[in-house]
Amino acid sequence: MDKIKNYFTDWTMFEKLWLITVCTIMTVIWYLNGDTPFLLALTLTGSLNLVLGAKGKIAGLYFAIINCLLYSYQCMGVKLYGEVMYNMLFSIPVSTIAIYLWNKNKDDDGKIRFKVMSGKLIVLTFAGTLVCVFLYAKVLNLLGGNLAFMDSLTTVVSVVASILYLMRFSEQWLMWVGVNALSIVMWIMVYASGDKSALIIIVMKLTNLLNSLYGYYNWKKIAGQTNLKVKNFTEAS
């Protein structure tokens, strides 16, 4: 019990209340919607991943791995193959590597050293992302996937955001804002097609979007304390 209590010593009251609120909302929606225990586990691990990640806690990465496995299974059922491939082939390995790299980049107080990107690096990242979105959409069309362009957009942006997450860049949270906004639209389409289990995922993505905004604020604040501004990827180690 003391170990759990000590884990939250550097949390503000707002952060503690946000964690409790997110988990409560997910549980209430799950109960009212009459969903399966699988969906409750899916949404709670997804929310814990991002809430802990926004706080800069390595524990969030372990929840990320569990959530990727559960989310991939859910996406297979509605033929969102881009999401499945991203989570299984990319996100899980990246999260595993991130656990190692984050542990190597702690300060004396045990806090992760986060960074911010220069304007030039932001432009290059944005341009490369757009090119990959259009190319991957063509691949998904050939596979007969559902909502190919939307699936490609969320998947490619997620890949880029995950790389930036691995490299501890604060700006990755802004990309997750976009990913979650697009995912909300995509799952609303799934819900409108008759799959009522999509409702709880829509709520999860909405809370994740709000959490991403706070994550950007918190990581940028931490990065500002160490003045880590990176101009190009060769400096990003």
Domain ranges of the chain: 2-235
Give the span between the Cα atoms of 82 and 132, in whole angstroms: 13
Percent of the chain with pLDDT strictly greater than 90: 18
pTM attached to this predicted model: 0.74
> In the block, which residue shows the tokens 């709520």?
203
pLDDT at residue 207 greater than cutoff 60 = yes
Query: Could you report the per-residue pLDDT of 46-62, keeping only the tens digit for each?
Result: 888 888 988 888 899 99
* Cβ atoms < 10 Å from Cβ of 144: 9
Query: Is the separation of the CB atoms in 99 and 61 below 8 Å?
Result: yes
